[in-house]
Amino acid sequence: MDVQLWTWILVGISFTLYFGIAIWARASSTKDFYIAGGGVSPLANGMATAADWMSAASFISMAGLISFSGYDGSVYLMGWTGGYVLLALLLAPYLRKFGKFTVPDFIGDRYYSNSARTIAIICALIVSFTYVAGQMRGVGIVFSQFLQVDITKGVLIGMAVVLVFAFLGGMKGITYTQVAQYCVLIFAFMVPAIFISIQMTGNPFPQIGMGDKVEDGTFLLDKLDQLHTQLGFKEYTSGTKSTWDIFAITLALMAGTSGLPHVIVRFFTVPKVKDARKSAGYALLLIAILYTTAPAVAVFARTNLITTVNETAYKDLPDWFKNWENSGLISWTDKNNDGKIQYRNSEAVDGKPLFTDKRGANGERIISNPSAAENELYVDKDIMVLANPEIAQLPNWVIGLVAAGGLAAALSTAAGLLLVISTSVSHDLVKKQLKPNISDKGELMIARISILVAIIVAGFFGIYPPGFVAAVVALAFGLAAASFFPAIVLGIFDKRMNRQGAVTGMIAGTSLMLFYMITYKTGLIGIMDPLPESEWWFGTSPEGFGIIAMLLNFILAIVISRLTPPPPENVQQIVEDIRIPSGAGEAQMH
């Protein structure tokens, strides 16, 4: 069977499973819709959390990013995994003990203020929409290639799929769907990694195979370093980012992880506080399987790409190249008219390639915006994991399996984010502020309408994203670090923190991060282009700037809280109570 047929079969089977679970677990109450009834087992919640956490950025984009940035890409591994440890140990159990459905709910009650709740809702919407843009782009990329449609149609198909199981089941449906999606995505990620590791080094463990010897007796990483230097790139194992920027990005990703509303809400779905701790431990182990394998996949993909494509005549290229060329995610321009691909350390095109319907002398699709540089090859970072099995000439069923895994990763996180958006509107805005007496049925209807609107907006951002998947997601983490992290940490550990300090800090941190992100990353469409790297503040990239905005939030919150009246006694007592383990008082009495 060909690749497309295998893809239809495997994606069809996985989607049938997802839809079946969504129908079986459909929500009948707001408690089901928001926190799956609060009765999810720690293991199931750990698997769902891992699927929620390992988005299209983890599955599709992270290894691709490391493939091109080498050592510099390690910041994403350190930041995202370290952040999850921080969340599991520092925040999750306390938030679970507080017992609220959402992050805005926690902030609104902890800071005894609807103004604080409203600011938190706005922050949750900004973070979630920024994050979900990357997921919808990931869905579009997978569908565009394996179902032979363009990215826009791919995003529209993904929107329809997410709508079904998020609209029907809410958190209950999403939780059990994500358990299935974790199984699909981890199997889809590991199978090709193991195959290629055996193929290149003879070692079935990709994490070890990455540092093993290849057929000619040289170490794989040494070989990749040699290939890089021959083509004018820096050595793969050396870095170019400043120590400060690596530190800033890592810390911003860590703090951002701890402030992600769609991950935090998962800890409210288990019955007890100790179950929140257990599910966090399970999730960390399950996440580590993919995260320890991603650098190996990056090394395999990068080596195979260079050795397969460079100095190869276009007419001799394998089918995978021409298939991806049709998607607009890889392109070649014959600048020296020799019919061969020259891959060098320079830009191949001015921006993303703009394809025409014309064909060149070699049969390649002609692009309208080639640069004057000698590099003739453009490769979108987001295709490396998806194209890797094809480059390595693995069986067609493995290629179809990767497509199913990529969709599982993108759709699981997109569903979680859309639920955060809907609950922020229906529960935190309507129920808590605008219509306190609204019926359970009415609140559920508003939640579902919110999901529909959110999917439409998310689809727009998926079609017109501000960057490749991992970059967009990194910006969402920066926004979470700048907005939620200080308010949550201080809300748990500082009895003196009051609403004036928290509100001021959140507004200042979020505003500064948005300003920097627009100025140096996305620009304003039709008005201004992003400013260059040479003008970064303190040499800090937009992905790392969340740490500076977060520090501003912390400083303003603490200073202003000390200059204004303390919170009420009952709020201070709540802070005391959530930090004391259950049963501690009885233990002291005995």
User: Domains (ranges, CATH) in the chain?
Assistant: 3-304+390-483 (1.20.1730.10), 330-376 (no CATH)
What local confidence, expressed as pLDDT, does residue 4 receive?
Answer: 76
Cα separation of 327 and 132, whole Å?
A: 22
**Rounded Cα gap, residues 444 and 454, in angstroms:** 15
N- to C-terminal Cα distance for the chain?
70
CA distances from 85 to 51, 78, 89, 365, 429 (A): 16, 11, 6, 47, 31
Residue 358: the pLDDT is 85
DSSP string for 478-492: HHHHHHHHHHHHHHH
Q: Single out the residue of 490, 48, 106 nearest to residue 276, CA to CA.
A: 48
Buried b (16+ CB within 10 A) or exposed e, 439-473: eeeebbebbbebbeebbebbbebbbebbbbbbbbb
The chain-wide mean pLDDT, for the chain, equals 81
166 near 451, Cβ under 8 Å?
yes
Closest CA to 312 of 333, 346, 343, 336: 343
The pLDDT tens digits of the residues spanning 545-588 come to 999 999 999 999 999 999 999 999 988 888 888 776 554 443 33
Given this model, what pLDDT does residue 558 score? 96
Tokens describing residue 190? 């590991």
Question: Is the CB of residue 136 less than 8 Å from the CB of residue 155?
Answer: yes
Q: How many residues does the chain have?
A: 590
Three-state secondary structure call for residue 58 = helix
The reported pLDDT for the residue numbered 371 is 85
**Cβ 27 vs Cβ 168: under 8 Å:** yes
Residue 351 DSSP code: S
The number of angstroms, rounded, from the C-alpha of 531 to the middle of its chain's C-alpha atoms is 25
Tokens describing residue 487: 């308010």
Regions of the chain with pLDDT less than 50: 37, 583-590
Q: Are 550 and 509 in contact (CB under 8 A)?
A: yes
What per-residue confidence (pLDDT) applies to 588? 39
Distances (CA, A) of 282 to 55, 84, 102, 269, 276: 17, 12, 22, 15, 10
Give the pair of three-digit tokens for residue 517.
Answer: 């992100």
